[in-house]
Amino acid sequence: MIDIINAHAPYYDELILLTGYFNPRNISLNPKVKIIFLKNYVRDSFFKRLFSWIIFLLQSIFYIYFKYKKSNLYFVSNPPIFTFLPFLKNRNYSFLIYDIYPQFLVKNKLIKESSILFRIWNWRNTIVYENAKYIFTISEGMKQNLRYLKKHKDVKVVPIWTNRDFFNFIPKDENRFLKKINFKNEFLVAYSGNIGKSHPVEIIFDIAKFLVKEGDIKFLIIGEGEKKKQIKKLQKKLNLPNLIILDFQPTEIFPHVLSAFDLGVVTLELNSSDLSVPSKTFDLMAAGKPILSISSEDSELAKIISKSQIGKNFSVNDPIEKVASFIKELKENKKIYKKLSENSLKSSFDYSNINAKMLILN
């Protein structure tokens, strides 16, 4: 978002960012941008998430309709409920769609397609998207999920990107995160991100259990979300000595976190793998890490990994032995590991912040 806002800065005298959270990493926001903090995003459960969305929406109404009523508006689909804003028809606005709602909720069985909420939400999406000046989304697959729109052909696909200056190689003996968790020479298979409904991180337990006798292979889950309590209970029940669960790590140590991984795990529920592309994929590329993905074969995530040859995609229905075999192969075959790592770093150049210029409102 900082890249997108900074790309707009030369074209506007005033820019206002309404947000619940701001994480600058190593890039500074243009000083002319004013930040207004609203309700932060709560991930603990679906209902807390929905509540935080609604509060954020209500707070936004004041600024959109009273404080900055003549401004151009640039909406991002997180929270995904800005299509419920009234009286947008005469405003100049655009949308950047990261996740497709309410279809995402239906595929994850949180609401039914026959429900009143789904029908109203879809109806509002149709009206608001049709009147938008621009609609952006992040993959061709997600564009196809918007084909019910009359303006479907006008939807612009702009891949998201990573920050290659922020993520870089850090030798293991200098890695602050590895020292923090007291790891040294273990082959680290790790997931870092949202532990939500659409992320089947439970499969990591199955893999860790299968490889529990491989003492030099360790598993790590880092993050927050509505399934965090569930996986902590699972860890307590299984008591796997080769798996650790941690909270999100501070931003300043995050480059050390990704650099500590030997193999990055990216997951998407089969039901929703055509409705989103996890941004962690591109961060792992920038860090030069091979990727083990869990998603459907026809997902955008699987296509990226196959095309770039940066790892391997598995379905949640694949035998655990098959996934475990891939992990062991990477640990033991340095030549294959090096090739995937090099491909990953090389591919990150295709997802650079130059894409932000494609998202400028002309």
Given the structure tokens 């927050």, which residue do they identify? 224
Label residue 274 exposed, middle or buried (CB < 10 Å: 0-12, 13-18, 19+).
Answer: buried
Do 204 and 191 meet the contact criterion of CB atoms below 8 Å apart?
A: yes
Domains of the chain: 38-158 (no CATH), 172-350 (3.40.50.2000)
Label residue 320 exposed, middle or buried (CB < 10 Å: 0-12, 13-18, 19+).
Answer: middle
pTM: 0.86
Q: Give CA–CA dist 303/153, Å, rounded.
A: 22
Do 160 and 138 meet the contact criterion of CB atoms below 8 Å apart?
A: yes
CA distances from 146 to 106, 138, 238, 359 (A): 15, 12, 42, 18
At 272 the pLDDT is: 66
At 362 the pLDDT is: 67
Q: For the CA atoms of the chain, what is the radius of gyration?
A: 21
Tokens of residue 207, six digits: 């893999």
Q: Can you give the pLDDT of all 362 residues of the chain as single tens digits?
A: 899 999 999 999 999 999 999 988 888 999 999 999 999 988 777 788 889 999 999 999 999 999 999 899 999 988 888 999 988 888 999 999 988 899 888 887 888 999 999 999 999 999 999 999 999 999 888 898 888 888 888 999 998 888 888 888 888 889 999 999 988 789 999 999 988 777 789 999 999 999 999 989 999 999 988 889 999 999 999 999 999 999 999 989 999 999 999 999 999 876 666 677 888 999 999 999 999 999 988 888 999 999 999 999 999 889 999 999 999 999 999 999 999 999 999 999 988 888 888 998 76
The enclosing H or E element of 204 equals helix 202-210
At 354 the pLDDT is: 87
Closest Cα to residue 204, out of 155, 257, 242?
A: 242
The enclosing H or E element of 180 equals helix 176-181
3-state secondary structure (DSSP) of residue 3: helix
